[in-house]
Amino acid sequence: MYESDEILAEAERLSERIKALDTVKEYHQVESQIHNNKNLEQRMKELKKNQKQSVNLQNYGKTQALQASEDKIEHIEQDINVLPIVDEFRASQAEANDLLQMMIHTMSDRLNNHKD
């Protein structure tokens, strides 16, 4: 029987091996590029500001101003979505997520199908 500290140590080793996978490395690399992209950072700040403004306009019942704000949000989102780095980020994020989901599913299957 394993002790919990042995299992945690093995989990740490497995975590390090997962980080070393090309799929995960690529995701982290693209994520870093996203965080260092000043144009994207500015657009995201503008998006968040307009989203907050929309919430306030909605709370005060300012329907025309709300619609104008929502239109601006849609325009900013379109600007963000056409950036190649955003598309690359989404693709690498999906790949990394699929890999992790497969691993979780495999572990769950093995744990639930184990008969003593």
- Each residue's pLDDT tens digit, 1-42: 778 999 999 999 999 999 999 999 999 999 999 999 999 999
Question: What is the structure's pLDDT at 111?
Answer: 87
pLDDT class of 115 with cuts at 50, 70, 90:
low
Looking at residues 41-47, what average pLDDT do you find? Answer: 94
pLDDT class of 116 with cuts at 50, 70, 90:
low
pLDDT digits (tens, 9 = 90+) for 74-96: 999 999 999 999 999 999 999 99
Question: What is the structure's pLDDT at 106?
Answer: 94
pLDDT class of 70 with cuts at 50, 70, 90:
very high
Per-residue pLDDT at 47 exceeds 70: yes
- In angstroms, the CA 40 to CA 56 distance is 24
The structural domains of the chain, ordered by start, are 2-93 (1.20.1500.10)
Q: By C-alpha distance, which of 78, 79, 82, 91 is closest to 29?
A: 91
Listed as own residue / partner, the contacts of 30-38 with beta carbons closer than 8 Å and 24 or more positions apart are 30/85, 30/88, 30/89, 30/92, 30/93, 31/89, 31/92, 31/93, 33/85, 33/89, 34/85, 34/86, 34/89, 37/83, 37/85
Could you tell me the pTM of the whole model? 0.71
